[in-house]
Structure formats: C-alpha cells, structure tokens
Structure 1
C-alpha cells in the first residue's frame, strides 16, 4: 500500500471507529494522534486544515483532496505519521494488519 493511501485509509477507519461508544480508548488516542500530527504538518495551510477536518465527516468526498494535501505537505514521507497510521489500522483491523495489508516500503522514497 502506498503511504498516502495508508494515511487516508487510517483516517477513514479512525473516523468510522471513533463515531460511537464502541471505539476503544487506544483507537481514539491513535486517531487523535494521527490528526494532531497532520494538523502540525498542515500548520499555516488553511486549505489543508479545512480538508482534513472535512474528511472526518465525509471521507468519500474528501479522500482525493486530502491525498493531494498529504502529498503537498510531505506527510507521505514522514515516518512518524506513517507509524501512527499503521498503529491505528492495527487497532482497527488486527486481521488485515497481521496479514501485512498495511505494510509500507519506503526504500528509495524521496
């Protein structure tokens, strides 16, 4: 999975899982941590901040604009962001994570 898709997938899964009382504290914390890291990367870029906030309520509509902002900000090469995204997906989808579904290989990334 490419890094941008990983981040968008994690945000979508976190938003879906975090909507109710069923989400564990670990899921909520990981989701919040990912959003905080992205808001820090987007700091001063109003459009990116708006897209990230809008994605939470309508992931399908905002997935493509979010992917564009993630690339523009360099979030796709930020190992901390990717680590938190992978951790969130591991919490939300243990089976898929265990099967390597959310593995990202950054060798050769620039």
Structure 2
C-alpha cells in the first residue's frame, strides 16, 4: 500500500466509523485531524480538491479514483505527518497495515506452510 492508498483507506474507514454511535471520541478526533490536514493540503493545490474531499465522504467509492489523483499531485505521500495520522487511525480502527515493499517470501493468512529458497 503506497502513501496515497494509505490516506484514502484511512479517510474511507474514518468516514464509515464516524457514522456509528459506538465510535470513540478518540477515533472521531483522529479522523477529524487527518481530514483537516488533507483538506489544508488540497486547498493549496487544485481548485476542486476540497470539494472532492467532501464529496468522497458521502460517496467514497465514486470519488476514490479522483481523490487519489488529487492526493498524489498534492504530494500527500511525502507528508510524514499525514501518513502517520492515517496509519494511526487505521491502527485504532483495528485495520492491519503492512508495508511489504522490501519483503521477500510474504505469506498472508493463518495455518499456512511456506518454504523459501533465496539465491
């Protein structure tokens, strides 16, 4: 998962979690902080960035691709603060985020058997 995908996933998960009464105030606050950081980043770039961010809250699947494009152009994947906030929100929501870009011999799931030979 690259930086843009991480932020988009956190925004979508935060939007969904914010709709329930059982969501803790800490998660709501974490989502609000992430959203505000992303909004400020988008406000300095494309003129319709903030509008698309807001539209993505109501219909995340419809706006996911366009939001991803805008976030990529805005350099959100280089903003360590936003990336840390997105990762933290997903962690707090119970999502497992694994950075496997440099990994060798990855296995996902339970009760697997794997034999690796690296040359």
CA RMSD, Structure 1 to Structure 2 (Å): 1.5
User: Quick one: distance in 2 between partners of 1:27 and 1:102?
Assistant: 20
Shift of 1:46: 2.9
**CA distance in 2: counterparts of 1:29 and 1:103, whole angstroms:** 25
Distance 1:104 1:28 in 2: 28
Tell me the TM-score normalised to structure 2 length: 0.78
The answer (yes or no) to whether the contact 1:2–1:104 under 8 Å persists in 2 is no
Which protein has greater RCO, CA pairs closer than 8 Å, 6+ apart? 1
Q: Which runs of 4+ in 1 moved over 6 A?
A: none
Give the number of equivalent residue pairs: 100
Aligned partner of 1:5 in structure 2 is 5
Higher-Rg structure is 2
Offset of residue 39 of structure 1: 1.0
Q: Which residue of 2 aligns with 1:31?
A: 31
2:84 is aligned with 1:83: yes
Which stretches in structure 1 are left out of the alignment for 5+ residues? 106-110
Return the alpha-carbon distance in structure 2 between the equivalents of residues 20 and 102 of structure 1: 26
Q: TM-score scaled by structure 1?
A: 0.84
Q: Which consecutive residues of structure 2, in runs of 5 or more, have no partner in the other structure?
A: 102-119
Q: Which has the higher helix share?
A: 1
Aligned to 2:63: 62
